[in-house]
Structure 1
Amino acid sequence: MKTLFLLFIMAVSQQITAQDTATVTVIIENIANDEGEILLGMSTQEKFMKAQPNYSANAKIENGKAIITFNEVPYGWYAISCFQDKNGNKKMDFENNGMPKEDYGVSNNPMLMGPPTWEDAKFEVNAKTKEIVIRF
Structure 2
Amino acid sequence: MKILPVAFLAAGCTLLSAATSPTTSAPVQVVVTDLPSTKATVKLYFYNVKENFLKRGNYTLLKYVKPGGSKQITLPIDLPNGEWAVALTQDLNDNDLVDKNFMGIPTEPYAFSNNVRPKLAPPEFDECKFVVNGAAQVVTISMRK
Q: TM-score interval w.r.t. the shorter chain?
A: 0.7 to 0.9
1:58-69 equivalent positions in 2, closer than 5 A: 58-61=64-67, 62-69=69-76
Unpaired segments of 5 or more residues in structure 2? none
Residue among 132, 135, 141 paired with 1:128: 135
Alignment counterpart, residue 111 of structure 2, candidates 90, 105, 113: 105
- How many angstroms apart in 2 are the aligned matches of 1:82 and 1:39? 5
State the AA in 1 paired with 2:58. Q
Deviations 1:6-25 (A, max 9, x none): 32112134456775111221
Q: Report the number of matched residues.
A: 135
TM-score, normalised relative to structure 1: 0.86
Residue 55 (structure 2) pairs with residue 46 (structure 1): no
Aligned partner (choices 85, 88, 92) of residue 86 of structure 1: 92
Taking structure 2 as the reference length, the TM-score comes to 0.81
One-letter amino acid of the structure 2 residue matched with residue 123 of structure 1: F
Give how far 1:52 is off. Answer: 2.7
Question: Unmatched 5+ residue regions in structure 1?
Answer: none
Paired amino acid for 1:98: G
Structure with greater strand percent: 1
| More helix per residue | 2
Give the whole-Å Cα distance in 2 for the aligned partners of 1:128 and 1:112.
29
Give the fraction of aligned pairs with identical amino acids, expressed as a percent: 23
| Change in CA separation of 1:35 and 1:97 when aligned onto 2, cut-off 3 Å | farther
Say which one has the larger Rg: 2
Number of the residue aligned with 2:34: 30
Superposed CA RMSD in Å reads 2.1
